[in-house]
Amino acid sequence: MNAQTLKVAGAIVLAIVVFVLWNATFIVHQTEQALVLRFGGVRSVATEPGLYFKLPMIENVVEIDNRVLDLDLPEQEVIAADQKRLVVDAFARYRVTDPVRFYQTVNNIAGANLRLANIINSTVRSVVAEASFTDIVRTNRSGLMREIQEEVNRQAQGLGLTVIDVQLRRADLPQQNSEAVYQRMQTERQREAADIRAQGSQLAQTIRARADRDVTVIRADANQQAQEIRGQGDAQVNTILGDAYSLDSDFFAFFRSLQAYTNSLGGGTRWVLSPDSHFFRFLDPAAQGRAPQPAPQAAPAPAINTQD
């Protein structure tokens, strides 16, 4: 009976020792830092990973995340310096660098997110209020982000936090304003397109008018050159005929008469002439022995048509 009692007592003592040792030690992981509290007050800080000791039942441990934390903020509407309304959507990345101050001011991550969100929203409104719409969305966005981060970080130091980054994921006009802007842009583009089409039509008319004028000038020059060439050809023909007449007047008279027959007697024309008319002297062998008479005025001497 005594042996059994000793075993039970030994087991109880061992359990008490294990319990005391269990409550007297704690482990800090790589992603954590810990505060050792005694009666609510901070006694020590453990920032390095490892095994630590504390007084059991008197001291307790508060673990704080040591990683970089993300904070997504809801959309808010702000007014720029040029009185344009914007909807901005920001996010931040931060970490706890002073666990004692962090515990004393915000107590936990949820409290830190709430306080930091208020700081960021207030800072974004104040910085955006001094910048134009163009600076925010295009020309100076990175500079504004640096200014916001510096101000947020300055205020976050009092909470034991260090802000690593603050960015605006979205900076757009409100929906109703966006529709009005898109409509205005569409109207402007349509007006520009109409102006371009009008300019193109005017330019086309100018080109066509210039081309028509050039065609008229070219045709006039061509007609003038053609007339000059025909005149030169007629002059050469007359010169050749004159030379031929001076060489053989009888053959020239015969040739001219044949041309007159061709031009006068073609096309079914009916003529009433005297058989001994001088016009038909080359068709009457008996008349060829008589003295030639002047050709009648009614039968003009035809000229060779150089246009054929």
Instruction: Give tens-digit pLDDT for 230-274.
Output: 888 888 888 887 777 777 677 777 777 777 777 776 666 676 766
- The fraction of the chain above a pLDDT of 70, given in percent, is 78
User: Contact at 8 Å (CB) between 87 and 172?
Assistant: yes
- Give the lowest-confidence range in 24-28, 34-38, 148-152, 293-297: 293-297
Question: Can you tell me the distance from the alpha carbon of 60 to that of 36, in angstroms, rounded to the nearest whole number?
Answer: 6
Q: Please indicate whether residue 50 or residue 274 has the higher confidence score (pLDDT).
A: 50
Q: What is the mean pLDDT of the chain?
A: 80
At residue 140, the pLDDT reads: 83
Q: Please indicate whether residue 90 or residue 294 has the higher confidence score (pLDDT).
A: 90
Residue type at 12? I
Q: Beta strand pairing status for 59-65 and 32-38?
A: antiparallel
Q: Where in the chain is the domain with CATH 3.30.479.30?
A: 69-178
The CATH class of the 69-178 domain is alpha beta
- Looking up tokens 């005694």 gives 38
The stretch 110-124 carries a mean pLDDT of 94
Question: Can you tell me the distance from the alpha carbon of 223 to that of 235, in angstroms, rounded to the nearest whole number?
Answer: 18
Q: Could you list the beta-strand ranges (E) of 118-261.
A: 161-172
